[in-house]
Structure 1
């Protein structure tokens, strides 16, 4: 089952085309890395996939939703409920506890019932190894623990696809490895993952398909094998 598909897509950042004629698909439960130099289009591609940027040309579908052209945003909330989005800079609400951060997302995505919401929060925190951290404030957690909260937040709506933008970029190697193992577990349980990263050591340690943004093109290791340099 295909959960992400682009065909002849153009990826824009402001008025500039950063990637052109992008064609690739991701199947249910697949894991792929997204690599490339800073400014090569990785983040813009991810933003297009979660409809933060419009798709000006070509076609795209993610989790059963057609990616919007300019101005067509009414389906975006429904698309995002099928996705987990993980940012490098966490984007946690620092005036709320871990549980309140997660509750904010459940309320925003239409969950009903206090007990049901508390149960879901407990489930995702246990899954990321933070069962005892619900009442803590974000500043009381390490960087690695904060990233685990972000992953828990992304898992709340049982996404079919996780989009992760440099999720280990600010973490030391041991912590990055533990976060990577967590992504592997999530992927093994059936969630597809597309992860932008600069960390080639992790790619060598946990090999998967690689998509490389280079000179306005997207090169797919499943189609054209290449060396990571």
Structure 2
């Protein structure tokens, strides 16, 4: 059995000094797809933030993409995040830059060299998400679904081993959400593990996968049910 892409053992997930989840233990294997569900405030976003080291892991142990979350110095957090793709509900695209410039900004920030190589990578990820012709367009000229595809393209730039998605279909109508889910399935089948927080239980029924549920301070795992 290979080492899991992400694993927590006996972890307490804290937000602003308050424990929101306790005794959290789970492992996400390479190329696995899992949902993360629970009511608003139940700890979904805090769990994701712990995995990408935005919140400290103070109790228990955890590793993500080969990095130890407990002993990870602040200087190494960017190296962890380069192994991850992070997709937010509210896009967080730079409104004063074109789609291509948004993606180049990430490549520059993560140490890519060579103009031609960077341009090629931008075109590769846009093609991967079905938006090969939009590099020169401004984000506000795109639909919500197209903007979310740009966000996913941005998350794929550094070929992540794990994609963390926080309500990626929350602002999209059902038909567009289905298209985003199909894209996630393609990414997953190509070898990237995905942990996706969602409120959309129709997606869980239509695209069944393992479900991790934040409920009353605990993390329940459908794989152990």
TM-score by length of 1: 0.96
Deviation of residue 68 (structure 1)?
3.7
Quick check: 1:167 aligned with 2:165?
Answer: no
Matched residue, 1:85: 86
The Cα offsets for residues 138-194 of structure 1, whole Å up to 9 and x where unpaired, read as: 000000000000000000000000000000000000000000000000000000000
1:179 and 1:119 map into 2 onto residues whose CA distance is: 23
The Cα offsets for residues 45-98 of structure 1, whole Å up to 9 and x where unpaired, read as: 0000000000011000000001146x8312101100000000000000000000
Which among 2, 5, 20 is matched to residue 3 of structure 1?
Answer: 5
Matched residue, 1:217: 218
* SS across alignment from 1:194: strand
Matched residue, 1:66: 68
Matched residue, 1:157: 158
Matched residue, 1:227: none
2:88 and 2:68 map into 1 onto residues whose CA distance is: 23
* SS across alignment from 1:111: coil
Matched residue, 1:109: 110
Matched residue, 2:119: 118
2:75 and 2:68 map into 1 onto residues whose CA distance is: 11
Matched residue, 1:202: 203
Q: Is contact 1:51–1:68 with CA below 8 Å preserved after alignment?
A: no
Matched residue, 2:95: 94
Residues 68 and 96 of structure 1: is their aligned pair in 2 closer, same or farther, counting only changes over 3 Å?
A: farther
- Across the aligned residues of Structure 1 and Structure 2, the Cα RMSD in angstroms comes to 0.9
* SS across alignment from 1:53: coil
Deviation of residue 15 (structure 1)?
1.4
Mapping 1:39-54, distance limit 5 Å: 39-54=41-56
2:88 and 2:31 map into 1 onto residues whose CA distance is: 21
Aligned length: 223
TM-score by length of 2: 0.98
* SS across alignment from 1:222: helix
1:75 and 1:137 map into 2 onto residues whose CA distance is: 33
Which among 12, 15, 27 is matched to residue 25 of structure 1?
Answer: 27
1:67 and 1:151 map into 2 onto residues whose CA distance is: 24
Matched residue, 2:14: 12
Q: Is contact 1:33–1:210 with CA below 8 Å preserved after alignment?
A: yes
Matched residue, 1:145: 146
* SS across alignment from 1:187: helix
* SS across alignment from 1:124: helix
